[in-house]
Amino acid sequence: MNTKFFARRFITAWYIFSDGGFEGLLFRAGHRGPMLLLGLALLIKAPLAGWGPGGFYREYPNEVYVQSGEIKHAYDSVLNHYLMIAGDLGLPALILNLVLIISPLIIAALALRNISEVKRRLILSTLMVGNFIFLIMIAFIPPSYFPGLLWAWTAQLAYLVLEGERNGVLFRIRSRACRRAFVFFLCMALLLSTAGSYQTTFGPKSYSVREKREGWPLRSGENHAVKRQFTKALIRAE
């Protein structure tokens, strides 16, 4: 790890923050602010199912053109895990994702009350605090940037759930009314996601409709994304 590089970045960021606050960090010194605002704009336009996997990279040049008349291509992601999930897969998928990554912490917190062994309490508490901090960190840097880290994160969440099961804390919905409500939510999430996917694929938010309505200069029937020729396939890339 290049400690000098990160030290310089930290010192520079601190001086910018001291001078301009969060606005300076987001908008004056980097591209996080504009990326965040554009990601929110895309989410507002397709909240039910998002724009599909990798949708931010495909829709970035389209949205920039609609807002400014310029054609620019995304040089980074939206840099926020939660907004990436919502923008690509929709708000129902974001809710399910939050359940998956937060419920292990709740289970572990409930299990901690039943554990008396000091070593196990220390391990469980450390993992809980670490994962809580991690949930804050991924609002500023997506974990998908570090594929190896995803394995460690998944293993820790699994351990928290196993500790809960070992101490009689399980994620069960015992009430019949709650079970019905949960099933209803899943069905509604599926229906909303299907409706949103239809809108962005064949409906009023599809490429073929938007290129005529928004006056895109590139009449490709697709979008403004750059086409890159690879050895075995022609794909759209950011």
Task: State the pTM of this model.
Answer: 0.75
Element (H or E) spanning 152, and its range?
Answer: helix 147-166
The angle subtended at Cα 127 by Cα 126 and Cα 132, nearest 5°, is 100
Domain contains 14? no
- Is 94 a residue whose pLDDT tops 90? yes
Tell me if 32 sits within 8 A of 18, measured CB to CB.
no
Distance CA(53)–CA(97), nearest Å, equals: 15
Domain containing 183 equals 19-237
More confident residue, 32 or 12: 32
Domain contains 12? no
Tell me if 74 sits within 8 A of 61, measured CB to CB.
yes
Q: What does the pLDDT read at residue 22?
A: 59
pLDDT tens track for 51-89: 888 888 888 888 888 887 777 777 778 888 999 999 999
Domain contains 144? yes
Domain contains 3? no
Name the domain count of the chain. Answer: 1
Domain contains 5? no
Residue 4: band (very low, low, confident or very high) from pLDDT cuts 50, 70, 90: low
- Is 193 a residue whose pLDDT tops 80? yes
- Is 143 a residue whose pLDDT tops 90? no
Domain contains 4? no
pLDDT tens track for 147-189: 788 888 899 999 999 888 888 777 677 778 888 888 898 899 8
Domain contains 76? yes
More confident residue, 48 or 116: 48
Q: Which residue, 182, 171, 173, 175, is CA-closest to 111?
A: 171
More confident residue, 145 or 179: 179
Domain contains 8? no
